[in-house]
């Protein structure tokens, strides 16, 4: 059975066709500059095709994808009917879509109505779903898979903000959490790697990339997560501030005469590692800067390590223990020194990194010592595969 996974942005559309028999990627690519001049990249059969191809809208982009998936030279299937379903990466389901869902016209309209929860991400997903419905017809299930879904069941004690309760009731303001597809995927892979039933494990998953979040997973379920009502919350990221005293925002707005949008932009785009270092949001640049003696690069790296440590520590307390800590995403998978610095802080829990194992890259592995009381794992995330798995599960119900 073959599942097409789509990740639609406002002017782009990434896709992967996955054969669920062996979970292999048959083809993948990108439609970029949709609505502009149109660039198309398609990888299949061990080769890469790059084309300038005008795509005035997402429906035309889907047509280009399908025609290449079935092309005599570049194709990997004979007919579009071989695609059993399409899984759409969708950021925010709010309290309406709390699990992966087969869409119909009415549900797409409801999802459209949730745009204000994720104004940059939800509208392009809706556009992608409508485009697929238009081009592929009603018989192919279009499944939405939500970044928020994995976190939805967290206890109210973790989800509700201590502000007047009416704002939760009126506007749905609560902690939702993000990167859920990734946290769910790596926690399942962690249980497999350890040869244990996930129901018996307390896992802390650290998705450390340009956007970062940490989740406490007890028995396979999210019990708390660092991101909140929006992906701005938690600890510092590449350009996002994470949790700060909320009064700081009002103070700066008053002093500098800023509008809410301008302040939002500063906290999302100009803060975090970039704001502290004044150099870059990319941790490789911070490493290089620190190496050359730039103190603010060093400070940004040390703050990140410290803040990640605090979240891991608080989640270990929240779960009454931790069996495994998982690192994933750009920094989590690649920055061995950062992992070592973080785990050193958990010697008091009996956690220890094996420096040799910690050098491995690109595969799921345990990087803690044999006798480490807490297992430390590096697990490459694979959100497309996770979306395909959830899509398959929904259509198999
Ligand atoms: P992501 O958002 O998951 O793509 O992660 C982006 C972050 O991962 C950036 O801060 C990069 O500096 C970091 N990163 C990606 N590749 C590497 C690498 N090979 N070594 C160290 N950091 C990396």
How far is CA 16 from its chain centroid? 16
- Are 336 and 321 contacting, i.e. CB atoms less than 8 angstroms apart? no
State how beta strands 83-90 and 2-8 pair.
Answer: parallel
Sign of torsion, CA 185 191 197 200? Answer: negative
Q: Within 13 A of 368's CA, how many CA atoms are on the CB side?
A: 24
Active site residue 371: no
Q: Where are the beta strands (DSSP E) in the chain?
A: 2-8, 13-19, 24-32, 39-44, 47-52, 83-90, 101-102, 142-146, 202-208, 212-218, 221-225, 324-328, 365-366, 375-378
Please report the atom of ligand 1 found closest to the CA of residue 361.
19
Please report the atom of ligand 1 found closest to the CA of residue 329.
3
* C-alpha 75 to ligand 1 mean position (Å): 32
- Are 186 and 326 contacting, i.e. CB atoms less than 8 angstroms apart? yes
Per-position pLDDT tens, the chain of length 397: 999 999 999 999 999 999 999 999 999 999 999 999 999 999 999 999 999 999 999 999 999 999 999 999 999 999 999 999 999 999 999 999 999 999 999 999 999 999 999 998 999 999 999 999 999 998 999 999 999 999 999 999 999 999 999 999 999 999 999 999 999 999 999 999 999 999 999 999 999 999 999 999 999 999 999 999 999 999 999 999 999 999 999 999 999 999 999 999 999 999 999 999 999 999 999 999 999 999 999 999 999 999 999 999 999 999 999 999 999 999 999 999 999 999 999 999 999 999 999 999 999 999 999 999 999 999 999 999 999 999 999 999 9
Q: Which CATH number fits domain 2-146: 3.30.420.40, 3.40.50.720, 3.40.50.150, 3.40.50.970?
A: 3.30.420.40
Three-class secondary structure of residue 302 per DSSP: helix
**Domains 2-146 and 195-383 belong to one CATH topology:** yes
Q: Say if ligand 1 is within 6 A of residue 329 CB.
A: yes
Closest by CA position to 218, among listed 154, 156, 174, 311? 154
- Are 25 and 16 contacting, i.e. CB atoms less than 8 angstroms apart? yes
Q: Fold for 195-383, please state it.
A: Nucleotidyltransferase; domain 5 (3.30.420)
Q: Say if ligand 1 is within 6 A of residue 75 CB.
A: no
Q: For atom 9 of ligand 1, which residue has the closest CA? A: 282
**Residue ranges per structural domain of the chain:** 2-146, 195-383
Closest by CA position to 108, among listed 94, 98, 122? 122
Range 223-252 burial, b when 16+ CB lie within 10 A, else e: bbbbbbbbbbbbbbbbbbbbeeeeeebeee
Q: Say if ligand 1 is within 6 A of residue 289 CB.
A: no
**Catalytic residue of the set 147, 218, 323, 341:** 147
Q: For atom 20 of ligand 1, which residue has the closest CA? A: 334
Query: How far is it, in rounded angstroms, from Cα 136 to Cα 142?
Result: 10
Residue 256 confidence (pLDDT): 98
Residue 233 confidence (pLDDT): 97
Which pTM value belongs to this model?
A: 0.96
Residue 244 confidence (pLDDT): 98
Query: How far is it, in rounded angstroms, from Cα 164 to Cα 161?
Result: 8
Three-class secondary structure of residue 261 per DSSP: helix
């Amino acid at each position: 059975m073959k599942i097409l996974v789509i990740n639609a942005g406002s002017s782009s559309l990434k896709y992967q066709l996955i054969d669920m028999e062996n979970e292999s990627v048959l083809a993948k690519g990108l439609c970029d500059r949709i609505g502009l001049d149109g660039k198309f990249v398609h990888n299949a059969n061990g080769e890469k095709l790059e084309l300038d191809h005008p795509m005035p809208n997402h429906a035309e982009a889907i047509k280009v994808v399908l025609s290449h998936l079935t092309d005599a030279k570049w194709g990997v299937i004979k007919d579009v009917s071989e695609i059993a379903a399409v899984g759409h990466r969708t950021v925010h389901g709010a309290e309406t879509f709390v699990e992966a869902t087969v869409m119909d016209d009415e549900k797409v309209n409801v999802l459209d109505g949730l745009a204000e929860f994720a104004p940059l991400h939800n509208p392009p997903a809706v556009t992608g779903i409508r485009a697929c419905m238009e081009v592929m017809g009603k018989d192919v299930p279009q499944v939405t898979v939500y970044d928020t879904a994995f976190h939805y069941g967290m206890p109210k004690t973790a989800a509700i903000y201590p502000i007047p309760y009416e704002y939760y009731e009126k506007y749905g303001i609560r902690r939702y959490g993000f990167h859920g597809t990734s946290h769910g995927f790596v926690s399942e892979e962690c249980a497999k790697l350890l040869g244990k039933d996930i129901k018996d494990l307390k896992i802390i998953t650290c998705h450390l990339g340009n956007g970062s979040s940490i989740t406490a997973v007890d028995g396979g379920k999210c019990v708390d997560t660092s991101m909140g009502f929006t992906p701005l919350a938690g600890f510092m990221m590449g350009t996002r501030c994470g949790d700060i005293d909320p009064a700081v925002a009002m103070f700066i707005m008053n002093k500098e005469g800023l509008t809410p949008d301008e302040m939002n932009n500063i906290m999302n785009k100009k803060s975090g590692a970039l704001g502290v270092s004044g150099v870059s949001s990319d941790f490789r640049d911070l490493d290089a800067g620190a190496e050359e003696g730039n103190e603010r690069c060093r400070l940004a790296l040390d703050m990140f390590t410290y803040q990640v440590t605090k979240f891991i520590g608080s989640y270990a307390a929240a779960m009454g223990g931790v069996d495994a800590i998982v690192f994933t995403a750009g920094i989590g998978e690649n920055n061995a020194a950062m992992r070592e610095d973080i785990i050193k802080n958990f010697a008091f829990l009996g956690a220890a990194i094996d420096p040799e194992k910690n050098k491995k890259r690109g595969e799921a592995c345990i990087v803690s010592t044999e006798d480490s009381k807490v297992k430390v794992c590096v697990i490459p995330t694979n959100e497309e595969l996770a979306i395909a798995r959830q899509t398959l599960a929904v259509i198999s119900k």
